[in-house]
């Protein structure tokens, strides 16, 4: 299944091919002029802000993205984005997109199904090759590909993707109306998912590998008092099973060593996220967490490749921080391009 679905499908395709050339490699065969001033990889808050800042400098950008909004679009209630006391991620993303559409002369958005294959240097800048074989060129790159959900790596996880397994409660919760679900995890994303869907689903079993839920105390209390939520601590999901759709999970109690089957119709995997940098490992410097290391100009270890947002080693991963980082990357990119012939 190659189609693009909700952001959850990013996790369905974790086999991004790494860039097949490092920054010292010889230029690509593409000798023509760069088609765009900047290619922005990723369409979340960082990428969209960068695109707007570049557009206002009359720089033409191509945004290559698998979705609109990135992780922000998966958020249910955003209460800390300046200007909005409370707004859903979907609505905030729509505001971002509407703002970006004002600059349609300068910004080209291309939804890509399978992702980026690699980035190579060229005499005029860089070539970005997509997994479908197409190539685009630009004088500079801004990487804003954000983070993707972490996977459990268990039997049935890939098999039942979109057949009961999901990584986005906010996106897919409505499809489990009146059904039993398991939410795997124990932190804030798990708590958020549970509170988002508790009034939609029949019942929720939180399967948490640690001794207790951790995260926002207010959310933990709400989860504990909810009538249709039960919590299994020190528990590991071993496998997901079913027929056409998910029918259950096998869970091990790590304290007693006993396994049991839970009958569920859905499995929401909320165990965190990882930077979307699989296609960059041989190109730019990454830290231990596989985030792009950037300097205070938002420049990566490769001149002309900038980065912004959650994909970088910026200390805080917030929507408003990503937007700010996107603007910084665009301003620095613009200055860098101005200084070049």
Partner 1 sequence: MTEAKQKSDKVIVYTTPTCVFCKHVKSYLDDKGIDYDMIDVLADASKAQEMIDKSGQMGVPVTDFKGTIIVGFDKPKLDALVAA
Which residues bind to partner 1, rule: CB under 8 A? 1-9, 67-69, 73, 88, 90, 93, 111, 113, 162-164, 166, 170-172, 174-175, 177-178, 244-245
Strand partners, 232: 207
Q: How far apart are CA 302 and CA 250, in angstroms?
A: 46
Question: In the block, which residue shows the tokens 């993205």?
Answer: 65
61-65 and 36-41 strand pairing: parallel
Give min distance, CB of 183 to partner 1, in A: 16
The three-class DSSP label of residue 256 is: coil
> Is the CB of 186 or the CB of 242 nearer to partner 1?
242
Give min distance, CB of 107 to partner 1, in A: 16
Give min distance, CB of 146 to partner 1, in A: 14
Give min distance, CB of 95 to partner 1, in A: 13
Residue 71: phi, psi to the nearest 5? -65, -30
The three-class DSSP label of residue 221 is: helix
> Is the CB of 40 or the CB of 267 nearer to partner 1?
267
Question: In the block, which residue shows the tokens 């010889």?
Answer: 26
What are the counts of helices (DSSP H) followed by strands (DSSP E) for the chain?
Answer: 7, 17
> Is the CB of 109 or the CB of 330 nearer to partner 1?
109
Pick from 47, 39, 45, 41: nearest CA to 71: 45
Give min distance, CB of 25 to partner 1, in A: 31
Give min distance, CB of 104 to partner 1, in A: 13
> Is the CB of 184 or the CB of 305 nearer to partner 1?
184
Q: Which two three-digit tokens encode residue 270?
A: 């909320």
The three-class DSSP label of residue 120 is: strand
Q: How far apart are CA 192 and CA 185, in angstroms?
A: 11
């Amino acid at each position: 299944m190659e189609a693009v679905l909700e952001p959850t499908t990013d996790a369905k395709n974790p086999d991004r091919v790494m860039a097949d050339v490092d920054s010292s490699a010889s230029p690509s065969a593409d000798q023509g002029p760069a088609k765009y001033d900047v290619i922005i990889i990723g369409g979340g808050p960082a990428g969209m802000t960068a695109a707007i800042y570049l557009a206002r400098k009359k720089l033409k950008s191509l945004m290559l993205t698998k979705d609109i909004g990135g992780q922000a679009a998966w958020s249910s209630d955003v209460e800390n984005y300046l200007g909005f006391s409370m707004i859903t991620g979907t609505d905030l993303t729509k505001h971002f997109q509407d703002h970006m559409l004002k600059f349609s002369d300068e910004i080209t958005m291309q939804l890509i199904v399978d992702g980026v294959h690699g980035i190579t240097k060229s005499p005029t800048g860089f070539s970005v090759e997509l997994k479908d074989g197409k190539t685009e060129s630009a004088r500079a790159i801004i990487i804003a590909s954000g983070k993707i959900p972490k996977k459990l790596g268990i039997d049935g996880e890939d098999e039942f993707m979109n057949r009961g397994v999901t990584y986005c409660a906010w996106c897919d919760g409505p499809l489990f109306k009146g059904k039993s679900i398991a939410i795997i995890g124990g932190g804030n994303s798990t708590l958020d998912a549970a509170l988002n869907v508790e009034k939609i689903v029949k019942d929720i079993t939180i399967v948490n590998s640690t001794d207790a839920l951790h995260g926002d105390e207010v959310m933990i209390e709400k989860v504990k008092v909810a009538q249709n939520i039960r919590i299994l601590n020190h528990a590991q999901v071993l496998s997901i099973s079913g027929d056409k759709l998910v029918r259950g999970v096998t869970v091990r109690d790590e304290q007693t060593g006993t396994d049991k089957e839970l009958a569920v119709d859905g499995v929401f995997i909320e165990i965190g996220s990882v930077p979307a940098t699989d296609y960059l490992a041989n190109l730019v410097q990454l830290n231990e967490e596989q985030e792009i290391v950037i300097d205070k100009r938002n420049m990566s270890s490769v001149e002309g490749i900038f980065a912004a947002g959650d994909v970088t080693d910026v200390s805080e991963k917030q929507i408003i921080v990503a937007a700010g980082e996107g603007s910084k990357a665009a301003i620095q990119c613009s200055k860098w391009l101005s200084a070049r012939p």
